[in-house]
Amino acid sequence: MTNKPSTLLLIMIAFSIFLNCKNTTVKENAISPLPSLKESFKNDFLIGAAISRSQINQTDSLSNALLEKEFNSITPENDMKWEQIHPKEDSFNFETADKYVALGEKNNMHIVGHTLLWHSQLAPWVQNIQDSATMASTIKAHINKIVGRYKGRINTWDVVNEALNEDGSPRESVFYKVMGGENYIEQAFMLAAKADPDAKLVYNDYNLWKPEKRKGVLRIVKNLQDKGIKIDGVGMQAHWSLEGPTLEDIENSIIAYSNAGVKVSFTELDVTVLPNPWDLDGAAVEQSYAQFENDPKMNPYPVKLTDAAQIQLAKRYEAIFKLFLKHKDKIERVTFWGVNDGHSWLNGWPINGRTNHPLLFDRNFEPKKAYNSVLDLKKQ
Ligand code: G3I
């Protein structure tokens, strides 16, 4: 007898090593990070990002790579607003918007149009209109032309943006004043529905967690429904902070809007980590904040976030997404207002020249602790 292992034994050992390796791979996959936001939440809601002109023009390759990996919906941060797309009565500027829609189609994304009627970033010639007939025909021409051009290609329209005051009363915008009431909202939704019957139509606004403002939204939704005018969703912009709003207020709004028969989207999510000038003694809302520019107290993380602040942001995002998942049946889309921290409008508002860190990716496109805390929710 020799001590050499038989061929059969060698085969069995090799097979068992193979099986072992296979099990390890399976186990490792189970604990390795999930692949992306859009994959992780694909059965829950869409994950979007607002994109700027450089991303639309694809001049920032890292940014576009991250966009394609992580997000399945896009919103144009500025390039479809009235002053951009319809700067003069008889002149439309579709160059960037066309590229925007093509980018979304190339990547199979849910494409949002932002926004048809908004008092801000409105072309000056519209602000000068003074009679209701001219305003009505202007709104009609604007919506027909733009919604018609992208018929079947833009999936969701923010039809009317920010038409309410904080107490839920109608904002006295130029549309409201010249048209003599909220009938311009009815017109806008009716026209958009006619121009593209398949597009989803949304009313979009900030601070929609506020109980008073919630009543205003419900009034608008009910009025449209009573008149048989299509409205599909409410967009809660979600420019939030580490401290507020409370989850309870957000939840009450999600439930109220859903009970009114429309879907909810979080359309402009970001969480500021910087001190708020409104909380400072003597700082009135109407005050100019130029006095705080270059004040180090107002810009505590000029280079990077401290670990403690990273953790605070991660906890806030975790709580927010836990709530979103609880109500995923009512929520259609969660869109971040920017791809990475460097892109955020919050670096310039309400105080110019600060360094904010409100999103899930830092300025080097690296995922932050907040990103992991959001993805971890899908591993539990
Ligand atoms: O296009 C001009 C450029 O020609 C000029 O050189 C430059 C100098 O300041 O300004 C450029 O315009 C800026 C524009 O963004 C495009 O970058 C405006 O000054 C600036 O005010 C404008 O800010 C945008 C803001 O809306 C205007 O209200 C932000 O980027 C955009 O993030 C923000 O988005 C809004 C949503 O549409 C609606 N909800 C609130 C949200 C945050 O304010």
SS (H, E, C) 164-192: ECCCCCECCCHHHHHHCCCHHHHHHHHHH
Task: Please say if the pLDDT value at position 199 is more than 60.
Answer: yes
- Determine if ligand 1 sits within 6 Å of the CB of residue 340: no
- Determine if ligand 1 sits within 6 Å of the CB of residue 84: no
What are 47-89's pLDDT values in tens digits? 999 999 999 999 999 999 999 999 999 999 999 999 999 999 9
- Determine if ligand 1 sits within 6 Å of the CB of residue 121: yes
Residue nearest to atom 15 of ligand 1 (CA): 78
- Which residues lie closer than 8 Å to 307 by C-beta, 6 or more apart? none
**Strand runs labelled E in 206-308:** 233-236, 239-241, 263-272
Looking at residue 283, what is its pLDDT?
41
Name the active-site residue from 70, 182, 186, 268.
Answer: 268
pLDDT tier, 42 (very low <50, low <70, confident <90, very high otherwise): very high
What are 99-123's pLDDT values in tens digits? 999 999 999 999 999 999 999 999 9
Let me know if 162 is a catalytic residue.
yes
Cβ proximity of 253 and 207 under 8 Å? no
Ordered by where they begin, the domains of the chain are 41-270+331-340 (3.20.20.80)
CA 312/CA 60 separation, integer angstroms: 30
Task: Please say if the pLDDT value at position 30 is more than 50.
Answer: no
- CA of 268 from ligand 1 middle (Å) equals 14
- Determine if ligand 1 sits within 6 Å of the CB of residue 352: no
CA 362/CA 315 separation, integer angstroms: 17
> Which value, in Å, is the radius of gyration of the alpha carbons in the chain?
24
Task: Please say if the pLDDT value at position 124 is more than 50.
Answer: yes
Q: Buried b vs exposed e over 10-40: b needs ≥16 C-beta within 10 Å?
A: eeeeeeeeeeeeeeeeeeeeeeeeeebbbeb
Task: Please say if the pLDDT value at position 10 is more than 90.
Answer: no
Cβ proximity of 277 and 332 under 8 Å? no
Shortest-distance atom of ligand 1 to CA 114: 37
Looking at residue 292, what is its pLDDT?
84
In three-state secondary structure terms, 266 is strand
Give the number of other Cβ atoms within 10 Å of residue 274's Cβ. 21
- CA of 115 from ligand 1 middle (Å) equals 13
C-alpha atoms less than 13 angstroms from C-alpha of 326 in its C-beta half-sphere: 13
In percent, the amount of the chain with pLDDT more than 90 equals 84
Task: Please say if the pLDDT value at position 20 is more than 70.
Answer: no
Q: Comparing C-alpha atoms, which of 42, 51, 102 is closest to residue 336?
A: 51
Task: Please say if the pLDDT value at position 370 is more than 50.
Answer: yes
- Determine if ligand 1 sits within 6 Å of the CB of residue 77: yes
Task: Please say if the pLDDT value at position 93 is more than 70.
Answer: yes
Name the residue with higher pLDDT: 10 or 146.
146
Cβ proximity of 78 and 122 under 8 Å? no
- Determine if ligand 1 sits within 6 Å of the CB of residue 78: yes
What are 159-194's pLDDT values in tens digits? 999 999 999 999 999 999 999 999 999 999 999 999
Looking at residue 293, what is its pLDDT?
87
Looking at residue 378, what is its pLDDT?
94
- Read off the pLDDT of each residue in 259-273 and give the average, rounded to a whole number: 98
- CA of 14 from ligand 1 middle (Å) equals 64
**What would the two tokens of residue 291 be?**
């006095």
What are 286-314's pLDDT values in tens digits? 455 787 888 899 999 999 999 999 999 99
In percent, the amount of the chain with pLDDT more than 70 equals 88
Task: Please say if the pLDDT value at position 31 is more than 70.
Answer: no
**Residue 114, strand partner residues:** 158
Residue nearest to atom 35 of ligand 1 (CA): 77
CA 361/CA 270 separation, integer angstroms: 11
What's the distance, CA 121 to chain centroid?
A: 18
Residue nearest to atom 27 of ligand 1 (CA): 121
Task: Please say if the pLDDT value at position 262 is more than 80.
Answer: yes
- Which residues lie closer than 8 Å to 174 by C-beta, 6 or more apart? 119, 122, 126, 127, 129, 135
- CA of 59 from ligand 1 middle (Å) equals 19
CA 171/CA 120 separation, integer angstroms: 12
Let me know if 212 is a catalytic residue.
no
Residue nearest to atom 30 of ligand 1 (CA): 345
CA 330/CA 67 separation, integer angstroms: 25
Tell me the best of 345, 351, 352 to mutate to test the pocket of ligand 1, counting ligand atoms within 8 Å of each CB and taking the most.
345
Give the number of other Cβ atoms within 10 Å of residue 248's Cβ. 10
- Which residues lie closer than 8 Å to 104 by C-beta, 6 or more apart? 74, 110, 111
Name the active-site residue from 70, 162, 182, 186.
Answer: 162
- CA of 380 from ligand 1 middle (Å) equals 39
- Determine if ligand 1 sits within 6 Å of the CB of residue 204: no
What mean pLDDT value characterizes the chain? 90
- Determine if ligand 1 sits within 6 Å of the CB of residue 345: yes
Shortest-distance atom of ligand 1 to CA 81: 37
- CA of 78 from ligand 1 middle (Å) equals 6
- Determine if ligand 1 sits within 6 Å of the CB of residue 268: yes
Looking at residue 288, what is its pLDDT?
58
**Strand runs labelled E in 52-169:** 73-76, 110-117, 156-161
Cβ proximity of 257 and 221 under 8 Å? yes
Looking at residue 90, what is its pLDDT?
96
Backbone angles phi and psi of 57, in degrees to 5? -80, -5
